Chain A
Amino acid sequence: MSEAALPRRDATVPAKAAKPRRARPIGSESRLVQILLIAVSLGFLLLFLLLPLISVFVEAGARGWSAYRAAITEPDAVAAIRLTLLVASIAVPFNVVVGVAAAWAIAKFEFRGKNLLISLIDLPFSVSPVISGLVYVLLFGAQGYLGPFLKANGIEIIFALPGLVLATVFVTFPFVARELIPHMQSLGSTDEEAALTLGASPWRVFFSITLPNVKWSLFYGVLLCNARAMGEFGAVAVVSGRIRGLTNTMPLHVEILYNEYMSAAAFAVASLLAGLTLVTLALKSLLEWRYGDAIAAARHH
């Protein structure tokens, strides 16, 4: 068998070395360099991205199926799952409405201060999640600017659902608008103008022309917005107060379990979030492959 391997090696190495440089297609690296670069990339990805993901599922299953089931069906975990879904179901539609409105204004009209508006919409991306939570504590907390007023009227925002929703909306604010604006800009507004000239009502134009035109990038934005909304940790941690069964979202529940050295249970709940991640990535890739032209063409600008 070694003879079989040997001649092959003998045949390839000198052949490659003897080949004049021009023999391989112009503008390409040697095979060796290619393999080296691919190996570096894959190694980097494995070390930083894939191993953590795999470890979530391995650690989640470390104590067996029944322990896994117990961890994700105990009342506090169920309450956390419910709360996470509830928060996302308020925050995401809110951001869809605002994002669509912002995209309409920015993509279809020319007005002064437009670039400033775009920068302000993107602002939450460069604010630490912790600060996104902090600003609401300063505003609505017991010692906050509006704290006394809220207390006098019996309104709870911090350490309650409204605070969680606000912090989540802040963090996910740019997602929908960011996907829609470049796509709508690249489409222009000739379709809408034609429909208006033909007598369609403004809302009809919006719902039967604009929205269908951008539906895939809208879905794309919603997907990313939702993933972030359900997984947000820092902003929510600051405003939540971590009251079990009441203001504890899934990521916060993971943290509590982990800090109590209930590692397997923490990873069990984490695996649900990781599952959501995989679904999100799968849908995202599917969108990019099928409708990539529309979405990507818009992104390049």
Chain B
Amino acid sequence: MTASTASSGWRQPSILPGLGLSLGITLTALSLVVLIPLAALFIKAASAGPAEIWAIATSPRTLAALRLSFLGALLAAAVNAVFGLILAWVLVRYDFPGKRLVDAAVDLPFALPTAVAGIALAAIYAPNGWVGALLAPYGIKVAYTPLGVMVALIFVGLPFVVRMVQPVLEESQGDIEEAAALLGASRLRTIFKVILPPVLPALLTGFVLAFARAVGEYGSVIFIAGNVPMLSEIAPLLIVIKLEQFDYAGAAVIATLMLLMSFALILLVNLIQARTRKRLGDV
């Protein structure tokens, strides 16, 4: 094994054919569809020159849009982490009528087109909508405010947390928690000290996926947000607006900023996760 890897260079030998063909197809498609177009984005952004990049990046409207997209996505992912964990817990551990249906319904945001979700959320959270009308007497406005943005971002991110946590919870069922209980740990202590720690890496992954999805989300947000500049205008919408004004450089700079910020955040969480994994002895 070791001798062969050393001799063959970039690949280990295999009697299976087709590595060249399959890798060729993959790399060609990946380059043409994803990598070269993304490179064009970075080149366009860079070609604006440092002064203009700085001006675009620090304009109050850009900053407000980026703040709303990133803080909104973080908050929505946090809400999803809490409720997604509870939901996964309930689906794995308890029995109740209609459980399978509920389990299937969790994937709804994966499969429902974002524009459909957008107009539906706007309709029910509008002041005269099913939920909006219940909140209106208390002076709570959801649709056409930043709160509406949150609702949409929670909607799109929910399945990520549930689907990441569920399989890990399923595996963790077993004798350690019985041991903890028999040794005298309270149920709450067992849950937080024994059951949840191994779930944490999956929960973090779900959080990151929900965040990554929410930060770039467009379709489900723009209908419910109201899109008031500086208040409820998300960064992807600002890109579209710049594009409609033929401000290609502006659109490219904001897009590049968004990508770099979310990649940095994903990388950071992955590092934290690698550390957690190591501390827990690779679960």
Contact = CB atoms under 8 A, between A and B. Distances in A.
A121 B155 CA distance: 25
Given A37-B89, A41-B83, A270-B116, A258 B40 contact: no
Interface residues of B, number: 98
Q: Which 5 A-B pairs have the closest CB atoms?
A: A128-B216, A231-B113, A233-B219, A135-B37, A234-B218
Per DSSP, are chain A's interface residues mostly helix, strand or loop, or mixed?
helix
Contacts of A192: 16
Contact of B216 (A98, A112, A127, A273): A127
Interface string A259-274: 0000100110010011
B113 A135 contact: no
B216 A49 contact: no
A53 B220 CA distance: 13
Contacts of B266: 126
A144 B54 CA distance: 22
A225 to B, nearest CB: 11
Interface of A: 26-29, 34, 37-38, 40-42, 44-45, 47-53, 55-56, 59, 94, 97-98, 101-102, 104-105, 108-113, 117, 120-121, 123-131, 134-139, 141, 143-145, 166, 169-170, 173, 189, 192-193, 196-197, 202, 206, 224, 227, 230-234, 237-238, 250-252, 254-255, 258, 263, 266-267, 270, 273-274, 277, 280-282, 284-285, 289, 296, 299-300
Contact of A27 (B120, B158, B177): B177
A138 B124 contact: no
Interface in B228-270: 235-237, 239-240, 243, 246, 248, 251-252, 255, 258-259, 262-263, 266
A105 B116 contact: no
A143 to B, nearest CB: 6
B115 A251 contact: yes
B131 interface: yes
Contacts of B246: 143
B158 A49 contact: yes
B105 interface: yes
Contact of B217 (A128, A170, A250): A128
B103 to A, nearest CB: 8
A233 B113 contact: yes
B83 A53 contact: no
B22 A105 contact: yes
A102 B22 CA distance: 6
B23 to A, nearest CB: 4
B96 A254 contact: no
Nearest to A170: B33
B145 interface: no
Given A111-B12, A193-B16, 16 more contacts: A27-B178, A41-B102, A44-B86, A52-B155, A98-B26, A102-B25, A130-B218, A130-B240, A134-B252, A143-B246, A169-B33, A227-B110, A231-B111, A273-B113, A281-B105, A285-B104
